[in-house]
Structure 1
């Protein structure tokens, strides 16, 4: 795909101001976070993905997840921290929320962090989701003041996107812009395409993951608004 992600994001985010804030570190021990590593090149940028089972590539080989597909194309050293069931508020199968993944991401000293909202938070209080989203992204920027942070809109299945998922995405966009991150709206690339979903009608097939990866690439190619 030619130009590296770091170069593209640096150009895409030129002129954005970064917000620096101080946060207190929690005393509780963080749950164990499983990192799926893709070392496309020893010289590539360190990129960390924070998200849910769709970003993880549930039901597929880890190399089929859309962040891993981009890593292979762009030569990243990717650590995919995304996990089943996790959200900004919702505790996932590994006992983690996105705040826990943020904590794990910081220790990896990434040049780029990719994060997305999640349908796993559907049904939770809008106020609680907004607070947790702002807190996680604020903490991420405070700990990584020079990293590029890329907030990708959440992926739904082949049916109409729930209203609350749009609210969740709006919270991410607001928090991302506050901290000088880049928000990318990739639309709903799986809408109306049941053949791109696994039997559970939730998780993308390998082909569906490739469609999501392509949508992210298209969004990155757009000029800054």
Structure 2
């Protein structure tokens, strides 16, 4: 009997110990597999890359030598309204203007210079196109001297800008009846241009101001702003043609 009690007590103790023993159970887990295109990636803003502006394209240079027609006056053609500025803008060029009222190939202008003097003191070595325009101010000059001085300025312009295209525009008259002395100046300038092998344009023969109404001011000489725009329309194609030959 005593043996049965001892065995029962031992079994009770063993059962109690089994109940007191901690049992650890692994927590279930779920594996998640996501495709790359389903992943959310925080947006990344790239640092701005400094932009260096492209250098402005260099423009060709237009050199103009002339008299009051090129310079303009209070009756028309001052500054950007003048035909030289309009021609440069229309051709996409940079203007360099050397002009003086009353100047001509022989006639000395308000600056104390004639055309050869203007070219001597104002050379433009980088000129792509060079225009010399005029001049009715030489009407009292000896035709042979006009021709010699025209040849001189052409030579000087070539020496200053060896690659420039030279265009010589004869004297401009403001109606369709140019007097004989102006025609003599025209012929002398044309002879110089022909001898030098440069382009000559004859505004008298082409009738640039054969119909001057609205284009010439009350003094009968000075182009108005409209007259300068008219001159620009006539001269711009000459410059573009010369530029295309460069």
**Bucket of the pairwise TM-score, normalised by the shorter protein:** 0.7 to 0.9
Q: Decide whether the 8 Å contact of 2:151 with 2:196 is kept in 1.
A: no
Q: 1:221 & 1:107 partners in 2: Cα distance?
A: 18
1:189 aligns with: 208
Q: Which has the higher contact order (CA 8 A, sep 6+)?
A: 1
| Corresponding residue SS for 2:151 | helix
Matched, 1:203 2:218: no
The unaligned stretches of length 5 or more in structure 1 are 1-40
Q: 1:76 & 1:218 partners in 2: Cα distance?
A: 13
Matched, 1:61 2:78: yes
Q: 2:208 & 2:88 partners in 1: Cα distance?
A: 20
1:147: Cα distance to partner? 1.0
1:154: Cα distance to partner? 2.1
TM, length-normalised to structure 1 = 0.73
Pairwise CA RMSD: 2.4
Q: Decide whether the 8 Å contact of 1:157 with 1:202 is kept in 2.
A: yes
1:190: Cα distance to partner? 1.7
Q: 1:42 to 1:103 in 2, by over 3 A?
A: farther
Q: 1:91 to 1:168 in 2, by over 3 A?
A: same
Q: Decide whether the 8 Å contact of 1:46 with 1:78 is kept in 2.
A: yes
Q: 1:202 & 1:188 partners in 2: Cα distance?
A: 15
Q: Give the alignment partner of residue 94 of structure 2, picking from 66, 77, 91.
A: 77
TM, length-normalised to structure 2 = 0.67
Q: 2:118 & 2:169 partners in 1: Cα distance?
A: 16
Q: 2:186 & 2:237 partners in 1: Cα distance?
A: 19
Q: Decide whether the 8 Å contact of 1:85 with 1:92 is kept in 2.
A: yes
* Larger radius of gyration between Structure 1 and Structure 2: 2
Q: 1:85 to 1:200 in 2, by over 3 A?
A: same
Q: 1:64 & 1:181 partners in 2: Cα distance?
A: 28
Q: 1:154 & 1:42 partners in 2: Cα distance?
A: 35
